[in-house]
Structure 1
Amino acid sequence: MWPNSTDLVASTLVERLKSRGERLALAESCTSGMAAAIIGGVPGASNVFCGSMVTYRIASKQAWLGVPKQIIDIHSAESRATTEAMATCLLEACPEADWTAAVTGHFGPDAPADHDGEVFFCLARRIATHEPRVLHRRVHLNESQRIARQIEASMNLIQWISENIL
């Protein structure tokens, strides 16, 4: 069962999207679809939520989303640049989405010690010129257990999206 705060955070996002007549799609890595499950738990979310592409592995990021190999080779799969590529590639893959958001991060067990618990968010908006508007955020999670980190990262992502769809 989700913490009660997830209902409010996700409901706020769904209502904000409904009021704007806009839709959202997600590209998730370290959260493994948890953000989609939280948003999908809101009654009526299907009116504004296109879905989520869970690309946990590098090959999936490349094949399913079209993230260029060079970006991952240069910056790593857990980076601001990769997260931006995930979000902007998803805009191309999901033409009904007005907004896309992506999340990647280090949850261990093999994460470098100084990056363990670090996540990257990117929010991209489709605009009339077809040039996406892109916002970034880097967060260091407080939780230490994997599922708790996935929930914390998902909640932070949903809250951040809701605050930034302007």
Structure 2
Amino acid sequence: MDDQPNHYTVKRLHEIKAEHEAWVRSLTEAHTDRPLLVADPLYPQPKMLRVITSGNTLWNMIKESLTFEYAIPGDLAEEDETLVVEFLDLIQDLMDISRDLVSVRENRDAEKMIFGFMDHLLKRDLIVGAYVRHMLFYDGYERGPMSWPMLRVEVHRAKDAAIVDENGKPIPRKG
């Protein structure tokens, strides 16, 4: 928007805000009897996973999220599946306590635990990809929506993953 001041005038921004508020009202009026989770229209929804190569990157995604979903290959060897499930359990556990970890040491220890698991996964030719989806949660009452960031974590076989740049262009594999 900052780069297009002639298009995104103050008047246009007020129109966008009014349209969004009307959309939110339509959702809450139509679904006041039950909870609802919907994509936040103010954030573009991710189209690709980000390859995670450090514990710090995934830890920061965990800290900003309220919940997570995951995907793993269905036909992993039992040893690999056990490792992946332990990794996903670690993510869930860290998400549960992330708000309680305040010191640099505690945060750094969490990053190291994540990286340790990712290193074991990589040695088994498994890679981790993730993104955060910005959602809105409606509790089924008259209160407005709550921001509900959702972490998506996927573990893939390295040989099956298509690695692309931010524009979707394939990155050639080395070797």
Please confirm whether the aligned pair reaches a TM-score higher than 0.5, indicating the same fold: no
More contact order relative to length (CA 8 Å, sep ≥ 6): 2
Instruction: Give the greater-gyration-radius structure (CA).
Output: 2
TM-score (norm. length: structure 2): 0.28
